[in-house]
Chain A
Amino acid sequence: MTFEYASAPESTSVVKIKPEYGLFINGKFLPAKGGKVFSTINPATEAHLSKVAFAAPSDVDKAVAAARTAYSKVWSKMPAAERGKYLFRIARILQERAREFAVLETMDNGKPIRETRDTDIPLAAAHFFYHAGWADKLEHAGVGTAPKPHGVVGQIIPWNFPLLMLSWKIAPALATGNTVVLKPAETTPLTALLFAEVCQQAGLPAGVVNIVTGDGSTGAAIVNHPGIDKIAFTGSTDVGKGIARAIAGSKKSATLELGGKGANIVFEDAPIDETVEGIITGIFFNQGHVCCAGSRLLVQENIHDELMAKLKARISKIRVGDPLDKNTDLGAINSSAQLEKIRELTASGVEEGAEQWSPSCNLPSKGFWFPPTVFTGVTQAHKIAREEIFGPVLSVLTFRTPQEAIEKANNTPFGLSAGIWTDKGSRILWTAKHLKAGVIWANTFNKFDPASPFGGYKESGWGREGGRHGLAAYLKGGH
């Protein structure tokens, strides 16, 4: 007999999903105009989870009005230290209800419970705790001695880290004294709505946080709303460009966290076993639904074969399946549309002559699944080396010299993340200096922290989130 791990599913009894959720406006749950709703499903099973209100532009109007009133009457007048205490409260409640959030996130998103439990939810709480402490220290944020908030901030977040992205957006906005209207992604609205309950439990004044669910049209209503002073968006580069165009000529400023095609550079003297782990984390963390994923592996040619052998052996041990199983490493693809996109791009890889490899794995019959996949023999000209796949698909390229690695790494319109693997300190700093990327992980990958600024160069976006730099973006004139 071999050591087969019996399934270890996390209990869902901790979560009570309501049959229907309203919009969270001015501290209350309200139906959308005309009672319009849409359905959210579990991508691992395609089971219906709940019905969620579909916000029309007039609902966005209501949310913006509530946020404006809360800003001018309550939030901007409150002593900063008291404002901070609300954020501390929220952080604590998120910690208290961490298991509930983790299970709900896994059900709505499809990502493994190990990640929601160990990464998403603890980091979300940490973001509120970190920013809570900033609220009464804004004069030290590097934006002058009397920095001012923007006012009402419109925030639009993606489906890959639903609660974590919400915390990246709401925590700094509230700490700096702004009020918010936030739209969660269409496929993952539930933890944002559970967060609305946390706001209620925390006694947060009505209208400081408003959550409107819907699709791109709801997002557009936020972007174009004249009552909004600043936009914060995380999502695709295409949508980000659309937002940049839409707010041109207006008084709105914007923070944009967009796509990436991160180069993960492995030099011949890399610590090979940890490098293999880092490559795995870089591309298979969160099913590769990560804008900063290390999706382009750049390997020094003289260790290519050795590294690929070890990498493939390790990938064969990845456990794909039920996201609620505590032993699952790779969960479900978030939606059928995303699965289709991954399939299209991988098909182009094969068409263009790259070699596709996946370990044998039994994918569940229901739900949206894609196996961990590696393309070797990829060159810069391949579509899979240029376009963001946003899935568990790694493209492997080679280089001969550090200069060539830099040239290839930077040869992309994106500039979000990069990885460097080498034992040589001076080479790490040389490589980091020459990479055009906002976040560089040396001998590690996909690490996140509220104190660490995150954001991209070039078409990966505008501004930073996290740390003092991310905070400054929520203050007028801050860079």
Chain B
Amino acid sequence: MRIDVKKTYKLYIGGAFPRSESGRSYEISDKKGNFIANPAQASRKDLRDAVVAARAAHSGWSSATAFNRGQILYRVAEIMEGRTSQFVDEIVATEGVAPAAAKKQVQEAIDLWVWYSGWCDKIGSIYGSTNQVSGAFYNFTIPESVGVVAAFAPQKSSLLGLVHTIAPIIAGGNTVIAIASEKLPLCAITLSEALATSDLPGGVVNILTGITSELAPWAGSHMEIDAIDASGLTSSQDKEVRVSGADNLKRISSFKAEATPQRLLAFMEHKTVWHPIGI
């Protein structure tokens, strides 16, 4: 008889897999209450470190060519495809759904990466514009990444919700600190392992597991965070981050689990440039 080698579920910050600086972990169990794992319980200091990593990665990621970003997002899909069974096992274990349903969720998540991969080099053409101003000026508007985004993934989905959250944010050139579903965090860590082997530069995606209510206020008030995806917050947590987020006028949105270009645009700024036309 062989004893399974079980995985230690750690955080994903700046391309590395540290434990929480606090040394804390919390217990995850299945629907019947059976123990599954002890993922790391991220602290505000882990959040802080992740923000530093995300900020450092932003300049390179946002100035990478859109084609390059698209290829990397597609690479994530490729790597995930090979890990399908691992994701399925984790979804079955944590969500308690049938393997077929779990597999459907994984496939949808993979296809979502493919969909957003294609958006990377089209969002500017579709949502940018040349503007017909009166006068001898060339005037154009382009969407650009807003910067560093903290994203609270939906609580009821272990993988698909997380991909709905992360993919549009990084497709637009942002870097992200994703806070996984509190009760369903295992796929998030496995996803980070896929990301780490997908040519994605370290720090572009950072994934924290832990207690949402503990991390939300720190994210809301962090002045280096430019925007928040609040999809995974309760209405009172949502209100709280909107109030504290007003201190630096964070762009805060929350979404239904649907794929739409408006999700990219929610984390993009429109930059308009004027130049005279003369000889």
Contact = CB atoms under 8 A, between A and B. Distances in A.
Q: Do A and B come from one complex?
A: yes
Nearest to A448: B133
B22 interface: no
Contacts of A349: none
Q: How large is the interface on A (under 10, 10 to 19, 20 to 34, 35 or more residues)?
A: 35 or more
A464 B132 contact: no
Contact of A453 (B131, B238, B240): B131
Contacts of A477: 262
Interface residues of B, number: 39
Contacts of B129: 467-469
A469 B270 CA distance: 8
B134 A449 contact: yes
A458 interface: yes
A457 to B, nearest CB: 5
A452 B239 contact: no
A233 to B, nearest CB: 12
B127 interface: yes
A225 to B, nearest CB: 18
Given A244-B242, A413-B248, A479 B262 contact: yes
A440 B272 contact: yes
B269 interface: yes
B272 A439 contact: yes
B141 interface: yes
B270 A245 contact: no
B126 to A, nearest CB: 8
A92 to B, nearest CB: 17
Contacts of B133: 447, 449, 451-452
A459 interface: yes
Contact of B235 (A126, A249, A441, A451): A249
A308 interface: no
Contact of A437 (B247, B248, B271, B275): B271
B48 interface: no
B107 to A, nearest CB: 26
Contact of A459 (B236, B249, B271, B272): B249
Nearest to B249: A459
Interface string A178-215: 00000000000000000000000000000000000000
B101 interface: no
Interface in B105-142: 126-127, 129, 131-135, 137, 139, 141
A245 B246 contact: yes
A372 B3 CA distance: 81
B27 to A, nearest CB: 32
Interface in B152-196: none
Contact of B131 (A237, A247, A452, A455): A452
Contact of B270 (A143, A247, A435, A453): A453
B135 A449 contact: yes
Nearest to B128: A469
B73 interface: no
Given A438-B271, A442-B275, 11 more contacts: A244-B242, A245-B243, A248-B242, A441-B274, A442-B274, A444-B274, A449-B135, A457-B146, A457-B271, A462-B251, A464-B272
Interface of A: 126, 142-143, 237, 240-242, 244-245, 247-249, 256, 258, 413, 428, 432-433, 435, 437-444, 447, 449, 451-455, 457-459, 461-462, 464, 467-469, 477-479
Chain A to chain B: the 7 pairs with minimum beta-carbon distance, closest first: A249-B239, A248-B242, A244-B246, A479-B265, A449-B133, A451-B131, A442-B275
